[in-house]
Each structure stands twice: as structure tokens, then as C-alpha cells.
Amino acid sequence: MSQVPKTIDPAGQMMIECAACEGIRIAWDRLEAMQPQCGFGKLGVCCTVCAMGPCRIDPFGNGPQEGICGATAQTIVARNLARKIAAGCSAHSDHGRAVAEALLLAAENPESGYRIKDERKLRRLAEEFGIPQEGRSAEQVAKDVAEACLREFGKPHGELVMAQRAPEPRKTIWRELGIMPGAIDREVVRLLHQTHMGVDADPKNLLLSGMRCALADGWGGSMIATDLQDVLFGSPKPVRARTNLGVLRPERVNVIVHG
Ligand code: SF4
């Protein structure tokens, strides 16, 4: 009996078969063992936000339509999605913070192992953040850029600097909807607060806050990570290269970076 391929990537499929021959359990095996997955969880109508739960809404309308606290299916789904956004924003953005800290190390400590590879990009960022450059070394400027980026995580007032790169009509829409992001950490905290039991039950409001947090991720933490990595490790350019599992060499130490 012919097996249905588990991936469209032939190299991946080969490795899946390889793993099966070796008796190594991988994600596909764990997914199969999990069947059927929880239908309430899949729909997002199970709530574990507080210790009175878990509560679940009957999607067919026969059983409970509200959690113990009175949250409806719409509220629960919106809160679950928003909390996932907050977690994603935290993961991406804390990465960005770590890169800003690495840039600070590169600026302050020549022994750190980090150095500035793309000075042009650094100076463009300095201009964007209003950092003086005349007569200043790349390291002096980098220190101020790193500090300015770190402040983006917790500044008490104002919009994100990098979000100003968005086109004017887009920024107008964000401001009208009240979703122009401020400090990155604050957006995560605000969303976790807002989605807690007994705080905000309006699904539209919850989703708007989720969008603001997502924008803080994309136009804040993730953008800081990308731009400062370019400064530290060089801006990417197109190259011809081998990709996929074909890069692995049995005679070498193969280090696989995920991210
Ligand atoms: S927040 Fe409401 S719906 Fe969620 S677990 Fe607590 S009581 Fe149940």
C-alpha cells in the first residue's frame, strides 16, 4: 500500500521515512497519536484564564453558552487569540531586546566578540532616532542607537519610532482605531491585563488591542531585531547557495540554526 506523503518537500519526506526506519518519533507521529484533537480547543472556546475554569462553550448551542464568569464564546475566542498575540509579541520582541543589548556590548566592549559590520545602516538608524553623529565614532553612535532601541520597550509615553515608517494613510487609520502602538512591553502587559477575567468582555475591543500588540511586535520588537542584526552581522544580499537538507555533510560538524 502506497503511503501518502506527509510533506510536499521531497528532502523532508525522505527524512521522515528515515526517522520511521530508525524508530525515531517526530512531530507527525505525535500529531497522529493526538487524534482526534480537542474540538473545543481547536475552536478556541475553551477558557483557562482563571482558576474557576476550565470553562467551555458548547459550539452546537445545546450546552453552556457562557463561562462561569459570564464570558461568551466571542469573548473567550477573542481573549484566547489576543493572548497568543501577546505571547508571540513577547517572543519576537525579547529577541529584539537581546540584539539591542548585543549592539550595546559591541559599542562598549571591543572584547565582546560583537562588532559593527554595517555602519551605513547604523547611521541611517541614528538619523531616524534623532541621534547626533557629527564627529562621533561608529561605536559612540551605536551606543546611543542601542539605548534608544531599548527605551522603545518601556517608554512611558509616545508612539513607536519605527512605526513612523508606515505610510501616512495607514498611520491615520491606526490612530483613528486607537491601535498605533506605544512601548512594546506595555502593549503586551496591557493585552494580558485586558484579557484577564472580569476586565474587558467586548470581543471587538479585545481584537483591536490584539492588533495594537501585533503592530508593536512587527513595527517594534521584530523590526528592532532585524535592523540591529543587519548592523551587527551585515545586511543580507542575494547569494547563490545550497539550501535544505542537502547542506548537511556527514564529514563535518553540522550546526543548524533555527529562528
Ligand atoms: S475567565 Fe471566565 S470563562 Fe475563563 S476560566 Fe475563568 S470563569 Fe471560566
- For residue 55, report the phi and psi dihedrals to the nearest 5 degrees: -115, 145
Report the number of distinct structural domains present in the chain.
Answer: 2
Q: Return the number of other C-beta atoms located less than 10 Å from residue 101's C-beta.
A: 15
Same domain for 132 and 226, yes or no, is: yes
Same domain for 100 and 13, yes or no, is: no
Quick: pLDDT tens for 121-165: 999 999 999 999 999 999 999 999 999 999 999 999 999 999 999
Same domain for 77 and 24, yes or no, is: no
Residue 52 placed within a domain: no
Atom of ligand 1 nearest to the CA of 70: 2
Question: Stretch 95-120: mean pLDDT, rounded?
Answer: 96
Contact by Cβ (8 Å): 223, 92: no
Quick: pLDDT tens for 215-242: 999 999 999 999 999 999 999 999 998 8
ipTM for the predicted complex = 0.99
Same domain for 15 and 122, yes or no, is: no
In DSSP terms, 56 is beta-bridged to 46
Same domain for 121 and 31, yes or no, is: no
Angle, helices 184-194 vs 73-108, to 10°: value is 160
> Pick from 211, 216, 209: which is nearest to 192 by CA?
209
Decide: 207 in ligand 1 pocket, CB within 6 A. Answer: no
Q: Any idea which of 3-12, 99-108, 182-191, 214-223 has the lowest mean pLDDT?
A: 3-12
H/E stretch holding 3 reads: none
With 70 as the cut, is the pLDDT of residue 259 above it?
Answer: no
- The domain in which residue 4 lies consists of 1-35
Same domain for 80 and 154, yes or no, is: yes
Residue 53 placed within a domain: no
Residue 114 sits in a domain whose CATH number is: 1.20.1270.30
CA of 64 to the centre of ligand 1 (A): 12
> Pick from 125, 102, 94: which is nearest to 227 by CA?
125
Same domain for 83 and 200, yes or no, is: yes
Same domain for 92 and 206, yes or no, is: yes
